[in-house]
Amino acid sequence: MNKKMLVISVAAAFIVSAFAAMSVYSQEDVESVRDSAFGVRMRDKVAFMHDEHNEKAGIDDCTECHHVYDEEGVKLEDESSEDRECSECHMAGGKDKMDLMRAYHLNCKGCHEEQKAGPVMCAECHEKG
């Protein structure tokens, strides 16, 4: 390989890896819930291994969490809001951080209580570290 070829291939490798780093970040990489709307938090962060959690819990339907409702409050079964944070809706129209917190707790803890599986104590979800 001559010098010019080497420069070109090194540059190409850089570009390829830059694109890879941009595109691979998806729900598989989610390890905790960090809704940007909270800002400074009172509690420790909530561990949530997205794909692993949903596999273990046997949840196939993304809209169990990433839901969309129509104006009458009817859940739209084939629409997903996976491209939006919960806060985009649960803090809209005058709702505050407490409403957002309640939405998370009702969704997460609500299901754990209902299914008698998964953590329900504060420190089991809000882990140190």
Does residue 86 have a known ligand-binding role? no
**Residue 90 makes contact with ligand HEC by CB under 6 A:** yes
Q: Considering only residues 3, 69, 72, 94, which one is a binding residue for ligand HEC as defined by CB under 6 A?
A: 69
In one-letter notation, the amino acid at residue 90 is H
**Residue 76 makes contact with ligand HEC by CB under 6 A:** no
**Residue 56 makes contact with ligand HEC by CB under 6 A:** yes
E strand or H helix at 33: strand 32-33
Query: In angstroms, what CA-CA distances link 104 with 7, 15, 100, 113, 116?
Result: 50, 39, 6, 14, 18
Cα–Cα distance measured from residue 67 to residue 17, given in angstroms and rounded to the nearest whole number: 34
Does residue 89 have a known ligand-binding role? no
Binders of ligand HEC among 1-40, rule CB under 6 A? 25-27, 30, 33-35, 38
In one-letter notation, the amino acid at residue 67 is H
From the CB of 64, what's the least distance to ligand HEC, in Å? 4
Cα–Cα distance measured from residue 65 to residue 57, given in angstroms and rounded to the nearest whole number: 13
From the CB of 7, what's the least distance to ligand HEC, in Å? 34
Bind-site residues for heme c: 50, 53, 62, 65-67, 108, 111-112, 122, 125-126
